[in-house]
Amino acid sequence: MYVCLCKGVTCSAIRSAVSEQGVGSLRELSRNLGVATQCGKCAHSARQVLNEALGACTATNGCGTSNEAAA
């Protein structure tokens, strides 16, 4: 499902950014994928997907991300 229509970013792209690129905050997500850099309407949804992905990574101890955004 698309989270950010302006940049064409999907949930799976956000999860991949967390697990493969070590993205750990909305700021990093914006920098890497462009999420929330235009209209900004996706910021809340993007943060939710990000936090879910970070939780999954923490639970499985699989991606070594910082938990900056999860706090």
Residues that bind ligand FES (CB under 6 A): 4-7, 35-42
**Phi and psi torsions of 65, nearest 5°:** -90, 160
Work out how close the CB of 45 gets to ligand FES at its nearest, in angstroms, rounded to a whole number.
9
Q: How far is the CB of 6 from ligand FES (least distance, A)?
A: 3
| Closer to ligand FES by Cβ: residue 7 or 21 | 7
- How near is the Cβ of 5 to ligand FES at its closest, in Å? 5
From the list 69, 46, 45, 40, the residue with the least C-alpha distance to 57 is 69
Asked if residues 47 and 70 have their Cβ atoms less than 8 Å apart, the reply is no
Closer CB to ligand FES, residue 18 or residue 36?
36
**Counting beta carbons within 10 angstroms of the beta carbon of residue 5, is it exposed (0 to 12), middle (13 to 18) or buried (19 or more)?**
exposed
In the complex with ligand FES, the residue whose CB is nearer, 41 or 68, is: 41
